[in-house]
Amino acid sequence: MTTRTLRRRGTAAAALVSLVALTFAACGGDDSDEPSELDPDADLSKQTIVVSNWADYMPPDIAEKVEQETGAKVEITEHATNEDMVAKVVGSGGEGLDVVFGSQPYLQAFAEEGLLEPLDTEYLENWDSLDPKAQDLAEVDDQPYFAPYTWGTTGICYRTDLVDEAPTSWYDLLEPEEQYRGKITMMGTERWAVLPAQKALGYSVNTTDEDEMEDVKELMLAAKPHLLAYDDTTFYERLVSGEAVMVEAWDGWCNYGIAENPKIDFVVPEEGSDLWVDAIGILKSSENKEAAYAFVDTILDPENHAWASENILYNVPNDEAVSLLPEKLTEQYATLGARREEMLQGENMVDIGDASSLYNRIITEVTASDE
């Protein structure tokens, strides 16, 4: 196993509307849903692509591998969040970037606005190594637009030695027992801030119903006094130190805690949760699409794709890559092994369009409340 980099997942999803909708028009996206015609005999040694990704989110030698295997040159740039990635694409009018990593709702919005290249999977030899479910999740209007790279779910990460019983419900966070009050964190931004209340109330993580979201707000307001903090970045560290006993967490980030303390475990509450996807898209504005396809295909090679699970402890939608993982790894991190199927039962989190403003308003009202 290579040296593990505990990467922090960039926040994703809900400020999408304000950033994306306001700026896509300025980009002048092409709404054609037909893949560009590629030259199968293109000399890739004459093509250079620029890839934007989160830091430490792919093999550090991937640019060298792509050049060795295809001749194409790869320059890497980084973005901290999905919003940063959108700003880079918008700020450049789509110029200067060829490939972007982003969370599914963002790339879905890119596709809908004509900024993303529809994929001709005939040019991706490793496309069939992807889980069929992941292939379906990559489609917008029945056309694949991006390559799923990692996927996971959100649940409760907890200290087995500091709670009397393992949590089973989102209400264990929202309406905690007296002894756990002040020792719980929940995420405070974007789609994950509202997720526990949505699922506890039996609503979809993609609901756009204003009455349902009003119920969500009221439940969040009632829960707030019992929280230690809203925390999207250091929650697993609070768990490791014992400052918190239960936290809302992504499965991969809970694994970071497990790496430091084996008395930490992860559970998907009985009401269910989400299935989020981070993916790779080719911008329609790219003038080096053959090289862009070569990069995506190299990433999807099972030996390269397995790097993500080995090093950032996230699931990858590639069964052959999963089969390459060391047995010790899947034993230590159950969400990568025996409990992986449980993770895949989540509700896919998708772009909610204009309803993002409703989510933002509710989150702001709850986090700003003095209650």
How far, in Å, CA of 361 to CA of 290, rounded?
Answer: 42
Question: pLDDT tens digits, residue range 248-296?
Answer: 999 999 999 999 999 999 999 999 999 999 999 999 999 999 999 999 9
Confidence band of 176 (pLDDT split at 50, 70, 90): very high
- Residue 371: pLDDT band by 50, 70, 90 thresholds? low
Lowest mean pLDDT among 8-22, 107-121, 209-223: 8-22
Measured CA to CA, the distance from residue 148 to residue 165 in angstroms comes to 36
Residue whose pair of structure tokens reads 């972007």 in the numeric block = 100
Q: 105 with 19: CB under 8 angstroms?
A: no
The pLDDT tens digits of the residues spanning 75-124 come to: 999 998 888 899 999 887 778 999 999 999 899 999 998 999 999 999 99
Pairing of strands 154-159, 143-144: unpaired
Q: Work out the end-to-end distance of the chain between its first and last CA atoms, rounded to an integer number of angstroms.
A: 47
pTM for the model stands at 0.87
List beta partners, residue 171: none
What is the pLDDT of the chain when averaged over all its residues? 90
Instruction: State residue 342's pLDDT score.
Output: 84
CA 141 – CA 122 distance, rounded (Å): 19
Question: 340: burial class by Cβ within 10 Å (0-12, 13-18, 19+)?
Answer: middle
DSSP state of 34: S
**Residue 338 phi, psi (nearest 5):** -60, -30
Q: Which tokens is 286 given?
A: 């790219």
In the predicted structure, residue 11 carries a pLDDT above the cut 70: no
Q: Find the angle CA(292)-CA(305)-CA(293) to the nearest 5 degrees.
A: 15
- Digit-coded pLDDT (tens) for 50-68: 999 999 999 999 999 999 9
